[in-house]
Structure 1
Amino acid sequence: MRKPFIAGNWKMHNGIRETKEFFARFLGMYLDSSEVDVAIAPVFTAIEAAKNACKGRRVYIGAQNMHMEDKGAFTGEIAPGMLKELDVDFVILGHSERRHIFGETNNTIALKLKKAVLEGLLPIFCVGETLQERENEKTETILREQLDTAFNNLDAKEVSRVIVAYEPVWAIGTGETATPRIAGDAHIFIRNRIKELYNAVAAEDMRILYGGSVKPANARELLSVPDIDGALIGGASLQPDSFAEIIKISLEG
């Protein structure tokens, strides 16, 4: 049985003050449970504030990105070791906004993924297709390319330290949501590909999250799909009550 993983990606929202205000409310609504993993990725400058707010609570705090090098002339980047100094628990890699706005390639993301695993950071590795790719019936081709490139340098032990998030690009921040069938089919494809690349145990143990306009109104329907093991949540994770409600729903399944 795979434990649900509910993660909030705050993107470029909530500075230190807003982060403190969020947790002051959220931690009063969320009752710690060993039956679900709860995680939030705030902006870099608010990571320490988030960690301090969650001391002694079952909430993982992570980062939204990292570089693959330990140090160097990489203006505006942050190294894995620097994240470890902040005691982060996980890092989001390959998010569609990093791919499509900042031009990150499958090869770049693969290097980051390998580095995160080697550094002991839990990666949430994002994959997904654009609307045009879906309309051209290339969803599986795109997912296969993203998975194969990223996992090319990971062995079975290393891949066991990775969480995958399926995020159809056309459903991110648009209000559109993949139907449970569409999302479920993609998750089944991803799990089967992991089995082909590694083995049945690796595939069965892999937690695969859905990301794409998840909110309390659709969370129950999505999280009831057998191969959906949690959610990577954007906008709804900025609201303490909405995020707490989605966590509650995940425990009811």
Structure 2
Amino acid sequence: MLSLKEIKEKLEQSTGEESWITELEKDERVGARKLWTSWKRKQQLTLLELQAHEEKIKFDRSYCSQNNDLVAGVDEAGRGPLAGPVVTAAVILPNYIKELVGLNDSKQLSRNKRDELAVMIKKHAIAYSIHFQSVQKIDELNIYEATRQSMTEVVLNLKIRPNVVLADAMKLPIDIETHSIIKGDAKSLAIAAASILAKTARDEYMDQLHEQFPMYFFNKHAGYGTKQHIEMIEQYGPTQHHRKTFEPIKSILRMR
């Protein structure tokens, strides 16, 4: 009979098809049952992740008329914050990448997981592009139009022209077949990949901004209007990286 340590080590390497798995199901030791139950739960979660991954691929391919059509997913990060740029990304993925199983809307993942996935996306993508839309442009145009122009720019910056563009909740003025997908980062693998690249690029930018302006704690709230952030704006005033047309910054500036 295998020891609990041996069972744990074998389960970590198991594919679920080994003959000894059947014997483990009959093991009545409490420790063995716990190991079996934990492993079984992980197997089920892995299966669900794989199914979700395949559904996202199927969603993207449903917009293609040819097998070799290239789909670009487009998404943004940073429309809501009081400071920092809005960042957009466009990604064209191959039809299947095993390493990207588990890729989801960036808001559903931890920062470490997003960082890991960003590396894999950049490694395997057929093409990708990232664009930073400045605070000045956001104040000049308004956040919607600034984001729309940034999304347009990021698609045009791709080194390979896609056949289809799927954009998260945005219509783009480009001469490529484009579809606006509501909650696209939860439905499309390409849009989810773009959301990861946009979010990780913006987080890195805000971390660098924190080094210049540590009193605002940009590395903690990424520019969003938290209570602490607003208190710091009231105490120190807005920087050139704050959006002057956003409330409460607009009112704070009016009172100064």
Q: TM-score, normalised by structure 1?
A: 0.25
Flag the structure with higher helix content: 2
Larger radius of gyration: 2
Q: TM-score, normalised by structure 2?
A: 0.25
